C-alpha cells in the first residue's frame, strides 16, 4: 500500500504508480468525500467519458412513479 504525507500547505501528492494505473491527469478535479475517519478521493469524469456507460443495462426491474406506496402521495 502506498502512503503519502500531508505537506505544510495541506497538499497531498498521488504516487506515480497510482496516477498511471488510474490514468489521472494534472489539473483533474476530484470529489472529496469524508466517511468517518477516512477520506475518499473520487475523480470527477467529464460527461463525454460517460457516454454509453449504461449500454446493455437491464431495465426490466425499473421502478417508476406508479410503484410508489400510497402513503407517499
Per-residue pLDDT tens digits for 13-70: 999 999 999 989 999 999 999 999 999 999 988 888 777 777 888 877 777 777 666 5
Is there a contact between 30 and 42 (Cβ–Cβ < 8 Å)?
Answer: yes
- Write down the pLDDT at residue 2: 84
- Write down the pLDDT at residue 73: 54
Q: Is the pLDDT of residue 72 over 60?
A: no
10: DSSP letter = S
Q: Of residues 68 and 6, which shows the higher confidence score? A: 6
Is there a contact between 43 and 22 (Cβ–Cβ < 8 Å)?
Answer: yes
- Count Cβ atoms below 10 Å from residue 24 Cβ, excluding itself: 15
Cell 488510474 found at? 22
Domain ranges in the chain are 13-47
Amino acid at each position: 500500500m502506498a502512503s503519502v504525507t500531508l505537506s505544510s500547505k495541506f497538499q497531498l501528492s498521488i504516487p506515480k504508480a497510482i496516477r498511471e494505473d488510474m490514468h489521472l491527469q494534472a489539473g483533474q478535479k476530484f470529489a472529496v468525500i469524508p466517511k468517518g475517519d477516512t477520506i475518499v478521493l473520487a475523480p470527477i469524469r467529464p460527461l463525454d467519458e460517460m457516454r454509453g456507460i449504461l449500454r446493455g443495462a437491464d431495465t426490466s426491474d425499473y421502478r417508476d412513479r406508479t410503484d410508489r406506496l400510497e402513503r407517499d402521495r
